[in-house]
Structure 1
């Protein structure tokens, strides 16, 4: 009988990680995500893995976001040498994500060591290096949607479209042992069916055990058209107020959604700003990867873009300017009004958006648009919760800019969408809620019980179940 251990993203949103072990001693790791948010949570990324990395037979990833993939270089550094299975476009994005993360780890360690030296403290080492990331990337094994591959003895995997970001997958695992077949389905991060570019998540009907994400398990997102109208209103008001609009966004997924919508506004004559800055070299590279996989876009959005006669991003949003160097990024801060600035990180825990906050957050004519989930302990969550002051680059900055939260832009399914997807399963398999804060899980558990007469389980970290 196979066993599944719940390691990460258990009653929290980041650090997705689950270990599958069969009676025959086969071990497959599902996800190897980085914890993000408050410092003590991020310090757990340095904790020892609760298994021997060299004993694993395979790693399977649902998608490339760091909270699902970010510890792969560390896993390899500590002895893992097996294959890493993901969809083709996830494999492409993984190179971008892991190399950028490794670069940040090295630079942060260098900066922290210099700071500690002044205090007479020993230096710190990076969580992992660029070399570690390169070694991890050599282990990638791309798999097409709908294809079934044996990733280890007795374990076959099929990826289905999850509609979250490019390449995101629902992971279906068939476990063959002792003459029996058991089926584990992991939702990955399910997409919001209103998200642009992505196709709707694939419905599945057969499983013995289902792991369901619950990031937005407590609520539904606003109607997409209402959200777009609100965004258009914010941009118009910022234009009248004479300030800039700052949008913290994940380089992969959220940025592409925003550029699509801003391009629509431009094509429809509804964009009052004359400058849109994408201040993220990583997001610019992600755009190129997205455009190389346009066959994965939804049919309706491809037709809409084609109908405008725009073949390239430069025609879709001609006022877009991408910045590469730090000098180009700093030059943006001389612009006092009329600019939309999109930059990472998505939860404002670092990156160039923090520097733009330093120059704009205290200005009451400026506007900040928060387009997605902000985890507890992040600067983004502090702003969403209405703080009057924020700690930015070791300085206390007044928050006078207007803060707007647009939940309708989330790339995650809302409560009703989660319930609708899981309701496709026949025979009500064992259901476990993961990848969500406890209060979100409690709300989703109650809603599933009330609407589907189905008891969902909420595991504790380290729990093990038989499959």
Structure 2
């Protein structure tokens, strides 16, 4: 008998002691980080609302209870009973039954009314029909991405269960070594922006944090072929953890599966869905520009299938000697500060990912309170000594002035921006300004993935600030449904660009690398009445950075270029990254304050400037590592 089987046998004995005799337990197994209990008496199990909590406390594990399929009420009868139980004001729009897991997915406009006070209505549903309810929100903007991901995972549920059971056994195996040490190896993202990838290793475990590309330099991938990564075989990785879905952090995750990786990818639920959206777009833009795909669509599906989603604040075992907790990073939808607790109190490491210290229109500021942190791996995108951004109010005033000027000249305001996060921030600002008559109402065209990304945001309003949540839940006040927002595709660009009207265009990508925003620039470059407005960080070797530095020619293919006659404005306060002061404040107010800080994900001068300042101001041991450096902390 394996150690995991023996462990499950002991767990089963404890469950049998705690569960009343009239409730039968048919199977106990690990599925990913969760302990799953199968029972032939789901109604009786649900009648004791405190039983699962007592078991979780006793076993110190996350527990899911599932009914055996052959004891479930038939779907037709169950649906009728569920609709009788759930209040009409919940706005149930769909009910789907998953026989293999005994779950019923209830889609509703007001999930809280389906859940009930303290989960009371959910327990009532299980007592009535036996099925385990899973409640999801009916979004005000339907997202094909979310629908496709959920449908795909339903179709692949047999494979998913096999994956989760295998991962669960790996997590709960006995440690293979009594040695205690912690190392971090940098595979990318050091003294550069993009291709973030870091390995955190212990004597028992190897975890990859992020796996991104480098903007404008798609041939430069993280150093994945070194022995610490997948050079000794992709199976040597125990887990992948994603801070968020932006390409600089996640574009090359499917490549891992192309190389044979078959393990879990831990992230939030929005990050999982955006990972599918952005990686498919990534290879689509590669095709459009005649490049070689780094991986195929089948590998995107594999990556999504292996995602294990976590809630903020949930402490989760992901290896025999590693616990993972995700916290809000305030950067984009579902973005996380990643905290690792290693060993039995041995060491703690936090990876900031990309953070925004102060609250924005969409998100509360990044979390920086933890039980323990000895080492912080900190982004430094705006870490340079002069990287101070204007505050939000000033940035919004400047944007409104740019829009007003466009209205006066009947020109177009072209805003290249990240489709995820920045575009939605701008939409909220523009909607409010036009609603309050602070600027003339005009069309705001949304190109590329922006509309679809916005739909994903409305699917997960609980990740947004309370005020935005409330407005999303009210169809008459939802800022993203304002009449001026018009989704378009590539066929409309030239015709719209030729119109004699004032307008705003939000188009990805934000650094004017090939894509919709680049196409718009080619159409509008010669229009002196229009304005190119840069709101995102412009990385080295991107067209956006070159224009920001004074270049006034736009390449149009075949070695040709056209003069840039547009006005050029930079508004830096909309960045999803903390500026220099925000980064320092994040460390200054961090509780507890770390002993060591690795400054990464910034140009060389930015990482060195930030590292030096943190050392002098807070007496911390700081580093500005290069790629392929290894740090031992224990």
Length-normalised TM-score, structure 2: 0.67
Query: Is contact 1:224-1:409 (8 Å) kept?
Result: yes
Give the whole-Å Cα distance in 2 for the aligned partners of 1:303 and 1:133: 34
Deviation at residue 259 of structure 1 after TM alignment: 0.6
Deviation at residue 329 of structure 1 after TM alignment: 3.2
Query: Is contact 2:212-2:222 (8 Å) kept?
Result: no
Q: What's 2:415 paired with?
A: 247
Deviation at residue 65 of structure 1 after TM alignment: 0.7
Deviation sequence 1:302-336 (CA, Å, 0-9, x none): 4577899513622xx31111013x32334322224
Structure 2 counterpart of 1:14, from 194, 197, 204: 194
Structure 1 counterpart of 2:579, from 408, 414, 417: 414
Task: Identify unmatched segments of 5+ residues in structure 2.
Answer: 1-180
Deviation sequence 1:356-375 (CA, Å, 0-9, x none): 11121122111111011000
Query: Is contact 1:192-1:411 (8 Å) kept?
Result: no
Structure 2 counterpart of 1:58, from 218, 239, 242: 239
- Superposed counterparts of 1:370-449, under 5 Å: 370-394=534-558, 395-423=560-588, 424-426=590-592, 428-449=594-615
Deviation sequence 1:255-292 (CA, Å, 0-9, x none): 11111111111111123252110012x21111111001
Say whether residues 1:31 and 2:247 are aligned partners.
Answer: no
Q: What's 1:465 paired with?
A: 631
Q: What's 2:296 paired with?
A: 129
Q: What's 1:368 paired with?
A: 532
Deviation at residue 447 of structure 1 after TM alignment: 2.7
Give the whole-Å Cα distance in 1 for the aligned partners of 2:252 and 2:502: 40
Describe the SS at the equivalent of 2:396. Answer: helix
Give the whole-Å Cα distance in 2 for the aligned partners of 1:85 and 1:308: 33
Query: Is contact 1:73-1:132 (8 Å) kept?
Result: yes
Q: What's 1:120 paired with?
A: none
Length-normalised TM-score, structure 1: 0.90
Task: Identify unmatched segments of 5+ residues in structure 1.
Answer: 113-124
Query: Is contact 1:194-1:224 (8 Å) kept?
Result: no
Give the whole-Å Cα distance in 2 for the aligned partners of 1:328 and 1:134: 30
Q: What's 1:267 paired with?
A: 435
Give the whole-Å Cα distance in 1 for the aligned partners of 2:375 and 2:548: 36
Describe the SS at the equivalent of 1:201. Answer: coil
- Superposed counterparts of 1:51-450, under 5 Å: 51-52=229-230, 53-108=234-289, 111-112=290-291, 125-176=292-343, 180-205=345-370, 206-218=372-384, 219-280=387-448, 282-302=449-469, 309-311=476-478, 313-314=480-481, 317-324=482-489, 326-394=490-558, 395-423=560-588, 424-426=590-592, 428-450=594-616
Give the whole-Å Cα distance in 2 for the aligned partners of 1:331 and 1:131: 36
Deviation at residue 428 of structure 1 after TM alignment: 4.0
Query: Is contact 1:103-1:129 (8 Å) kept?
Result: no
Give the whole-Å Cα distance in 2 for the aligned partners of 1:337 and 1:455: 56
Distance 1:237 1:180, change over 3 A: closer
Q: What's 1:45 paired with?
A: 221
Moved more, 247-256 or 296-305: 296-305
Q: Which has the higher contact order (CA 8 A, sep 6+)?
A: 1
Give the whole-Å Cα distance in 1 for the aligned partners of 2:479 and 2:631: 49
Query: Is contact 2:245-2:274 (8 Å) kept?
Result: yes
Deviation at residue 445 of structure 1 after TM alignment: 2.2
Distance 1:456 1:232, change over 3 A: same
Distance 1:210 1:464, change over 3 A: same
Moved more, 419-428 or 54-63: 419-428
Give the whole-Å Cα distance in 2 for the aligned partners of 1:334 and 1:46: 42
Describe the SS at the equivalent of 1:45. Answer: coil
User: What is the RMSD computed on CA atoms of the aligned residues?
Assistant: 2.0
Describe the SS at the equivalent of 1:11. Answer: coil
Give the whole-Å Cα distance in 2 for the aligned partners of 1:42 and 1:307: 42
Describe the SS at the equivalent of 2:403. Answer: helix
Deviation sequence 1:126-150 (CA, Å, 0-9, x none): 2111122112111111001000111
Give the whole-Å Cα distance in 2 for the aligned partners of 1:311 and 1:48: 43
Deviation sequence 1:38-96 (CA, Å, 0-9, x none): xxx32123975323222211100111111111111111101100000001111121111
Give the whole-Å Cα distance in 2 for the aligned partners of 1:396 and 1:266: 36
Give the whole-Å Cα distance in 1 for the aligned partners of 2:484 and 2:203: 59
Equivalenced residue count is 443
Q: What's 1:121 paired with?
A: none
Bigger Rg over Cα: 2
